[in-house]
Copies of this chain bind each other. A is one copy, B any other.
Amino acid sequence: MAPFALAPYLEATRVRVEALLQPRLSTLFGRAPEALLEAMRYSVLGGGKRLRPTLCLSFADAVSRASGGGGEAADDAACAVEWVHAYSLIHDDLPAMDDDDLRRGRPTSHKVFGEAMAILAGDALLTEAFALLTREATPLRASLCAELAGAAGAAGMVGGQVLDIAADRPADRAHLERMHGLKTGALIRASCRMGALAAGARESELRLADAYGRAVGLAFQIADDVLDVTASREAMGKPTRADAARGRPTFPAVLGLEASRAMAREQAELAAAAIRPLEPEPGPLAMLARYAAERDR
């Protein structure tokens, strides 16, 4: 068997995700104000790596080989995590938060639509993610909703953002891991878990998804911090050196650049090891873990 090639897999999955996102936003046409839908589309359909939906679908595929199909629930879950991710970027970029003007090479939402509409577009994407997940009244749909709400809420992503903007944040590794574990890690972990759940994962498989998602989330965030130091604004599509400019603690600042890179690789190895029972030969999940740690943008 030829070794698994990540690049074509990432591209094929990206195309698959785009094809899922578009019609799901379209169901709101005619029922919601056009100006709001335009702002929602701008952020959801404006590119991005689609890491979270890719993890979600990859887990659904990996689990369903054993137990029989992620289907529409997995597709909805993939879109819901991406909507929640898009909402979090819109709100994080607001003048009252990070006050960023550029995201993915384009002006941020509030620069294009104004602050009020940006807040509301974020609110709507968050809310519609839960509407999408519960468009069927089944126990599975309620579980998916609970996973997403837990990961995105006060003890997850929002809580992490609060820690990140706190004036008295300590600059040590424990704080960084806790903050990022909530701010980025929780949603990445939930993306893995939701894909597995949608495909009918057993409890043991859910535990694998959890361990994998935790390690990948950390690897991804360390890589993000490293890229903020080493990459160009052009490659990233947003300002770099932004963390240092804000006096924000980062892994390279706390551990040094080489130790940070080593830690990202170590987490990717952990993730790949965790997933071996589900993916005995290195496949999408092992490669995605490596990609999270070693990506160049």
Interface residues of A (CB under 8 A from B): 28, 31-33, 35-37, 40, 91, 94, 96-97, 114-117, 119-120, 122-124, 126-128, 130-131, 133-143, 145-146, 148-150, 152-155, 158-159, 161-163, 165-166
Contacts and interface: CB of A to CB of B under 8 A. Distances in A.
A33 B163 contact: yes
A97 B114 CA distance: 10
A42 to B, nearest CB: 14
Given A97-B116, A116-B96, A149-B134, A37 B154 contact: yes
A149 B165 contact: no
Contacts of A136: 142
A115 to B, nearest CB: 4
A138 B135 contact: no
Nearest to A148: B130
A163 B117 CA distance: 11
Contact of A153 (B127, B133, B135): B127
Contacts of A35: 162, 166
Contact of A124 (B117, B128, B141, B153): B153
Nearest to A135: B146
B36 A127 contact: no
A225 B127 CA distance: 27
Nearest to A98: B116
13 contacts: A28-B154, A31-B155, A35-B162, A36-B158, A40-B154, A96-B115, A119-B119, A127-B158, A131-B146, A133-B145, A134-B145, A137-B140, A138-B139
Contacts of A163: 33
A116 B95 CA distance: 9
A80 B154 CA distance: 15
A159 B32 contact: yes
Contacts of A137: 139-140, 142-143, 146
Given A158-B36, A159-B33, A91 B119 contact: yes
Residue of A96, A97, A130 contacting most chain B CB atoms (<10 Å): A130
